[in-house]
Amino acid sequence: MSRDGVVAKRYAKALFQIAQLNQTIAENQEQLKLVVEVIEKNAEIRKFLSFPNIETSKKIALVKGAFSDKISESVLSTLELLIIRGRQGIISGVYEAYTKLAGEALGQAHATVYTAKQLSAEELSKVQARFGAIAGKKIVAEQILKPELLGGVQVRIGDRLYDGSLLGKLSRLEQSLKTQAL
């Protein structure tokens, strides 16, 4: 794991411990998600936060102005601390690490569902239910379109990939045929 990954885990763990005390685990997760989405979608904010010649106080003022009424004091303080220490680049890493901690505490697992076409809400909930039974946890799924799959689904839960895609089946068939030919 990279150094930034280790540092992001430390910040996430500290924020998680505060959230446990305040019983705001899920709320903090949603607030971090909002912050990451806004920063990732807005290139100007990303550049502003990463530019070394801009004073830290101006960066903090921007974050407070943009999020103070949308996020809790503990999340805001974490963001301020990251900016003060020049670690604003790991905010998304903090969110990812926090999500893992929160998922474990709430009995949830995050899944990424890859499909060739967009699933309806009903279809996605069926996938969540099926893999929730396999994982023994409540699944929170995010869908990503990958047209190269041709059909079916791939589901990634943590480090495990369940491949029920047509592309995966064709690849396994190809490997089988190559093995038999030898």
- From 54, 75, 103, the end of a domain falls on 103
- Does residue 88 share a domain with residue 115? no
Domain range for 134: 108-167
pLDDT at 143: 94
Q: Please, which residues have CB within 8 angstroms of residue 141's CB and are 6 or more apart in sequence?
A: 110, 111, 112, 113, 124, 127, 128, 131, 155
Q: Is the pLDDT of residue 1 over 70?
A: no
Q: Report yes or no on 179 lying in a domain.
A: no
Q: Report yes or no on 30 lying in a domain.
A: yes
- From 103, 131, 154, the end of a domain falls on 103
Tell me the C-alpha distance between 74 and 58, whole Å. 20
Which two tokens mark 118?
């967009």
pLDDT at 164: 92
- Does residue 59 share a domain with residue 27? yes
Q: Report yes or no on 181 lying in a domain.
A: no
- Does residue 11 share a domain with residue 96? yes
Confidence of residue 108 (pLDDT cuts 50, 70, 90): confident
pTM above 0.85, yes or no: no
Q: What is the CATH number of the domain that holds 78?
A: 1.10.520.20
Tell me the C-alpha distance between 96 and 180, whole Å. 43
- Does residue 75 share a domain with residue 121? no
